[in-house]
Amino acid sequence: MQNMNARTLFAPLLAAALAIPSFAMPPAAPVPRAPGVPLTPVILDPGHGGDDDGAIVRGVKEKDLALVFAKKLKARLARNAGLPVVMTRDTDRYVTLDGRLVDSVDMSGSIFVSLHLNQARGTKASGAIVYSYGPEKKSKASRKRRFPSVPPMPAPSRDQASDSARLARTFSRALRADGFKAEASKAAFYVLKNPAAPSVLIELGYLNNPDEAAKLRDGGHQDRMVESLAKAIEEYAVLRNLHQDIEPVPAALTKL
């Protein structure tokens, strides 16, 4: 998530998107659908791309691995015919942060999942972190540089932030259930302010940790992680339908 490129164009499209009040874009549109089958797409957002490499450690570029994971996740989700998936990029090209959000507004996405690889000092840090919007802990100096220089973006509504936090917990819990180290956390990254859909940014692991980097580049390991991520998305999609079709949501399900 570092080296976020500042050369972003504050497109009129985004202004238009932001002009739509959040209450006009409820996360759960009341459209007819088969139980458990959302009609709006899951948006996968491979971080960086093109001139923006993201982190580079021993020749491994964050932008490349993020795209590998996103493509695998899309392919895995395609096995669930009722869960359409779109990607903000499917090649090595640069997409502005604004563009990533405008896409998700235009596509009426049901979930926005940004995929990244982490980098920190030293070689010890490990594990995935699933961020949703919220006040950021600033104890780690490395976090300072993560804020991209882009136009101001209003915070999401409380309901939107709550949905995003629930989605983040669904991801971290699914990863842990399958033996991966993972935690849910909060940050104020630009894409987490997405006004269109519950949004998370997943740092899949640390490239500066040689052991973890080797795993992240291993096809079998990627497939296992992707399976956990897919299960989380499917679980959340079902939960979203519960939100829409059955009221009120049972208390037990609101505490994921």
* Residues in contact with Zn ion by the rule CB under 5 A: 1, 47, 54, 116
In whole angstroms, the minimum distance from the beta carbon of 55 to Zn ion comes to 6
Query: How far is 164 from 142, CA to CA, in rounded Å?
Result: 24
In whole angstroms, the minimum distance from the beta carbon of 110 to Zn ion comes to 23
Phi, psi of 99, rounded to the nearest 5 degrees: -60, -35
The residue (of 18 and 44) whose beta carbon lies closer to Zn ion is: 44
Query: How far is 166 from 194, CA to CA, in rounded Å?
Result: 15
Query: Cis peptide leading into 248, omega within 30 of 0?
Result: yes
Ranges of H-type helices in the chain:
12-19, 62-78, 97-106, 158-177, 210-217, 219-245, 251-254
In whole angstroms, the minimum distance from the beta carbon of 146 to Zn ion comes to 8
Angle at 213 between CA 204 and CA 70, to 5 degrees: 40
140-to-75, 121, 240 alpha-carbon distances in Å: 35, 11, 34
Length, in residues, of the chain: 256
The residue (of 4 and 17) whose beta carbon lies closer to Zn ion is: 4
In whole angstroms, the minimum distance from the beta carbon of 97 to Zn ion comes to 11
Pair 36, 246: CB distance under 8 Å: no
The residue (of 18 and 120) whose beta carbon lies closer to Zn ion is: 120
- Both tokens of 25, joined, read 């874009």
In whole angstroms, the minimum distance from the beta carbon of 229 to Zn ion comes to 16
The residue (of 203 and 234) whose beta carbon lies closer to Zn ion is: 203
The residue (of 67 and 105) whose beta carbon lies closer to Zn ion is: 67
In whole angstroms, the minimum distance from the beta carbon of 158 to Zn ion comes to 27
The residue (of 54 and 127) whose beta carbon lies closer to Zn ion is: 54
